Each structure stands twice: as structure tokens, then as C-alpha cells.
A = this chain, B = another copy of it.
Amino acid sequence: MRISELSRRSGVSVTTIKYYLREGLLPPGRQTAATQAEYDDQHLHRLRLIRALTGVRGLSVGATREVLDALTEHADDTHLLLGVALGSVQVGGKPAEGAAESAESAEVAALVQELEWCVHDAAPARAVLAETLGSLRALGLPLDLHTLLPYARLAERTAVLDLDQLDGLDDPLEAAERALLLTVLLEPALMALRRMAQENESARRHLP
């Protein structure tokens, strides 16, 4: 397809597509004339992925390129590929900043051990969890392991649903794309479901 059709089908403007081409985020099309190139479904897929990374996940163009490069590089290792897509594997120069040995990060480690989960030491989600526990403690609402465990067990079952949706996708890059979109885009949906379920549960308990 021509660049105009790629633009129409992806919903990304021609100007932006040209920018992605210049920045190396999108591989060049097949040159058919001096000023004309042909693009295919791979380009369409890749554009979707770029939009998800920059738009929804809010990555910079540079960070997006690093993630895309990492996805291509690890195309033969599904676990690593999903790790990159899901953000559990850190890409690029930024190491998991010092992982300050706080009381909370030790608590997270204890939780992971209790759950017998296989989670990389540098997984950013560990830091996010530790930080949240710290905020709650500062606000006078400490959460202990005992309270977190049942939440973690439900997260375990959510993750099974997530991974089920990637089953049967032979192309690992397509699986990575899907993983990324589902993970990132489903977050607001899952939180919305929780809010609605809370309202329902509150009605069940408090309404006559």
C-alpha cells in the first residue's frame, strides 16, 4: 500500500509516519519509484505498537525505539519478549535505580517469596509496589503481608487470563504487541471494573 493508505488504515497522519521513518522507528518501505514506496501489514502492525508505546504508555520516541529494537532482538525468546513488552525487563541505559533497600522493598521481596513467584530482582513493578506501601504507611494506613496476599492471589488469576489471550499467536512479535496493548490498555478497564464492583459491594452491604 502507499503511504496515504497506510495513514488512512492506521489513523496516523502522513507527516507523523514520515517522522517515524526518519527516526528509524518504522522500517523503510519497498522503494517503487524515486519518491514512492510500498508498505505492508508489518508496517501497520508496527505503527499500532508505536502508538501504544508513545500514546498509552507515554514513552518518548527514543525509549520507544529502544523497546522496538529489543523486541526485534529477542524475537526467538518468548519469555524475554513478553518481558520487554510488559515492562518487566528494563530496556536501555536506565538500570533499576539503586533499588534503595527500604523496609518496603524487603516486604515486597518477602511477599514474592511467600507467593513463590518468579519475578526478576530488577522488575520495575517491585519498586512501584514498595513505593505504594511507603505512601500508605506515611498516611497511617500500613498494609501488611497478610492483607496483600489475597490481592496477590487474585492478581495471579488475572495474569492467567492475560496470558491465555496470547496463546495460539505463533508470531512472537505479534504476541508481544498484543501483550503490550492488553497490559497497558486493560489497566484503566480493570480499575474501572474494580470501582464498579466496589459500588455494587457497598450497595449489597449498606443499602436496605
Contacts and interface: CB of A to CB of B under 8 A. Distances in A.
A202 B82 contact: yes
A204 B182 CA distance: 19
* This chain: copies in complex: 2
Contact of A158 (B86, B154, B156, B199): B154
A123 B195 contact: yes
Interface string A96-129: 0000000000000000100101111001111011
Interface of A, helix, strand, loop or mixed by DSSP: helix
Interface of A: 11, 48, 51-52, 56, 78-79, 82-83, 86-88, 112, 115, 117-120, 123-126, 128-129, 131-133, 135-136, 138-141, 143, 147-148, 150-152, 154-163, 165, 178, 181-183, 185-207
